[in-house]
């Protein structure tokens, strides 16, 4: 039990600190795309399998797909509140975002008895909707980078660890359905937003939020792969298979984007 606890701490700290460094040294856009990919949910589902059973985690993964819609609602509410709030912006954005997430998963659980493909359709439509709603947000880079101290880096990792430990700890007590829904909470993205908001500005946070839906499609594929792979192959091989599916998606996404860019450049040349 102690070993699992330490492993949770290490994994969560590495992921969130890594994403914050990518946002600072590469761009918030890339950090946003990677945050939408399987990070927090992947950690939660893996530990569900480790602490309970591959079957429990596999069943949770299906409900996790439903919960993805709630995580996007969380981001939208955080974004909107941060736009119009003048005082205690981080606190209010966080509180209203969490409330929106909880209300969303409560409503989504009524749909959980429907065929599994319904969850996929709903989640994909929600991804497309929020991608459209976020499209006017500017992509900005961090010009003046902060130099985090060892204490600040420790606090970043500690914040992430507390959130992930709380989510995985509570979820497993509630059964596979609620575990899956709650595990969709952006456990690694949320602390990243808090870190970036506190250290830089809400505009940098918005740039991260804008790009999350792009990576979220890979999270849907990951959860579906877990649903099929964990019960059949176990959590270790199943995780490798699921990430293999994600890699294929990301390669295809990059290829399509590159081809579209070349096509646009070619069309511009002939105008």
Using CA atoms of 87, 90, 92, 95 in order, give the dihedral in degrees to the nearest 10: -170
Q: Given this model, what pLDDT does residue 92 score?
A: 95
> What predicted TM-score, i.e. pTM, was given to this entire model?
0.85
Q: Given this model, what pLDDT does residue 179 score?
A: 82
CB burial of residue 213 (10 Å; 0-12, 13-18, 19+): buried
Residues in the chain predicted with pLDDT less than 50, given as ranges, are none
Please, what is the Cα angle at 66 between 60 and 70, to 5 degrees?
A: 115
Q: Given this model, what pLDDT does residue 4 score?
A: 67
- Residues 82-116 have pLDDT tens digits of 999 888 999 999 999 999 999 999 998 888 777 77
* CB atoms closer than 10 angstroms to residue 244: 12
Q: Given this model, what pLDDT does residue 235 score?
A: 93
Q: Given this model, what pLDDT does residue 255 score?
A: 82
Q: Given this model, what pLDDT does residue 104 score?
A: 93
Residue 191 and residue 159 in contact, taking contact as beta carbons nearer than 8 Å: yes
- Dihedral sign (CA 32, 38, 41, 43): negative
Residue 220 and residue 124 in contact, taking contact as beta carbons nearer than 8 Å: yes
Residue with tokens 């591959």: 54
């Amino acid at each position: 039990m102690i070993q699992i606890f330490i492993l949770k701490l290490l994994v969560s700290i590495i992921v969130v600190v890594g994403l914050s460094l990518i946002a600072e040294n590469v761009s918030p856009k890339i950090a946003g795309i990677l945050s939408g990919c399987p990070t927090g949910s992947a950690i939660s589902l893996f530990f569900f399998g480790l602490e309970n059973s591959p079957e429990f985690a596999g069943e949770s993964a299906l409900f996790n797909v439903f919960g993805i819609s709630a995580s996007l609602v969380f981001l939208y509410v955080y974004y909107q509140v941060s736009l119009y709030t003048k005082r205690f912006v981080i606190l209010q954005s966080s509180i209203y975002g969490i409330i929106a997430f909880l209300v969303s998963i409560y409503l989504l659980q009524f749909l959980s008895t429907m065929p599994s493909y319904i969850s996929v359709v709903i989640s994909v439509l929600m991804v497309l909707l929020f991608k459209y709603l976020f499209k006017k947000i500017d992509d900005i880079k961090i010009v003046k980078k902060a130099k985090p101290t060892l204490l600040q880096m420790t606090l970043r990792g500690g914040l992430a660890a507390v959130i992930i430990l709380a989510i995985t700890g509570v979820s497993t007590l509630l059964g596979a359905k609620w575990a899956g829904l709650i595990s969709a909470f952006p456990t690694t993205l949320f602390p990243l937003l808090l870190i970036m908001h506190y250290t830089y500005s809400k505009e940098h946070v918005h740039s991260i939020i804008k790009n999350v839906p792009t990576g979220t499609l890979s999270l849907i594929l990951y959860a579906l792969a877990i649903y099929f792979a964990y019960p059949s192959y176990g959590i270790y091989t199943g995780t490798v298979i699921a990430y293999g599916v994600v890699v294929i998606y990301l390669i295809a996404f990059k290829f399509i984007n590159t081809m579209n860019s070349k096509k646009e450049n070619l069309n511009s040349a002939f105008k």
